[in-house]
């Protein structure tokens, strides 16, 4: 039986959901700030818990309203989970090097146009710090929760209401805006387009979570290798590195196109 209210939310409703999520994060964050000493957590641990709780509350509420189960949310595809992982993850991972190089160039371009303040530089450094709570938040919680929300809930509903690429674009723009800073907006929106296409074709969050987690994890690992906070690890990327990344992405893209394009997975969701 298909879930009820399956066309919820619209774009406007999705924007209100994101606003509610930000408000929840703020409220829970204030509570944790007052009680973190009592419960014995650090600032980084408290932030990870705040993200988990706020996103969890929003996700569970929407899933309950739509009558969705977790299996239906994560992998509504007809293909089995082992087959999906075996076929899609290798070509998905081939995209990562080029995605990271393009991310770095976009960040440099935006920073040239709008230089970061000292506070913003410190905030970005904290986002990718190589401590356990930040690693868990960036490499595990963010990929899983964000893909469940932006692709599993929002994009899935949009595909019921809007033309295919309009739906993917709306979800990508909301994904970019949700990062709440101009420096990540362009890259997150572009990545959202790729993740949206991947979900619309595969009807599974698993490859989306894998790509999202691989990108975040590599960024955190590169940050950990810096000799100094201001060092730009990818600034001196060689022509050979760019060429290798491009060839890997072409191979991954062709494999994904062969596996996913031309199938009957249009926007009508029969799960």
Give 147's pLDDT tier (boundaries 50, 70, 90): very high
CA-based end-to-end distance of the chain: 8
pLDDT for 11: 93
Q: pLDDT digit string (tens) for 178-204?
A: 988 888 898 999 999 999 999 999 999
- How many CA atoms does the CB half-sphere of 149 hold within 13 Å? 26
Is the Cβ–Cβ distance between 98 and 250 less than 8 Å?
no
Three-class SS state of 148 = helix
Q: What is the value of pTM for the model shown?
A: 0.88
* Greater pLDDT, 42 or 161: 161
> What pLDDT is stored for residue 168 in this prediction?
97
| Angle subtended at Cα 188 by Cα 13 and Cα 253, rounded to the nearest 5 degrees | 115
**What is the distance between the alpha carbons of residues 63 and 69, in angstroms, rounded to a whole number?**
7
Q: CA nearest 104: which of 236, 197, 225, 14?
A: 236
Closest C-alpha among 94, 49, 77, 102 to residue 214: 94
CA distance 156 to 203: 9
Q: Residue 171's pLDDT band (boundaries 50, 70, 90)?
A: very high
Read off the pLDDT of residues 37-96 as tens digits, 9 standing for 90 and up. Answer: 665 666 766 777 788 888 889 998 998 888 888 888 999 888 899 999 999 999 999 999
């Amino acid at each position: 039986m298909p879930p009820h209210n399956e066309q919820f939310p619209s774009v406007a409703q999705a924007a209100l959901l994101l606003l509610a999520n930000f408000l929840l994060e703020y409220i829970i964050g204030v509570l944790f700030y007052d009680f973190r000493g009592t419960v014995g957590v650090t600032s980084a641990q408290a932030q990870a818990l705040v993200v988990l709780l706020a996103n969890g509350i929003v996700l569970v509420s929407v899933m309950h309203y739509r009558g969705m189960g977790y299996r239906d949310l994560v992998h509504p595809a007809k293909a089995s989970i082992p087959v999906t992982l075996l076929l899609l993850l290798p070509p998905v991972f081939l995209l990562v090097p080029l995605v990271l190089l393009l991310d770095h160039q976009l960040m440099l371009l935006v920073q040239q146009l709008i230089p970061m303040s000292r506070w913003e530089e410190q905030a970005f450094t904290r986002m990718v710090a190589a401590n356990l709570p930040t690693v868990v938040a960036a490499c595990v919680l963010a990929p899983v929760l964000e893909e469940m929300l932006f692709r599993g809930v929002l994009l899935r509903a949009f595909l019921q209401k809007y033309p295919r690429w309009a739906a993917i674009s709306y979800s990508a723009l909301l994904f970019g805006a949700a990062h709440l800073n101009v420096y990540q907006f362009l890259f997150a929106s572009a990545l959202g387009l790729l993740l949206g296409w991947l979900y619309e074709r595969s009807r599974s969050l698993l490859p989306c979570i894998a790509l999202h987690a691989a990108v975040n994890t590599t960024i955190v690992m590169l940050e950990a290798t810096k000799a100094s906070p201001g060092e730009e690890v990818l600034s001196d990327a060689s022509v050979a590195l760019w060429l290798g990344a491009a060839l890997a992405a072409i191979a991954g893209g062709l494999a994904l196109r062969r596996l996913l394009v031309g199938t009957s997975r249009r926007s009508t969701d029969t799960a």
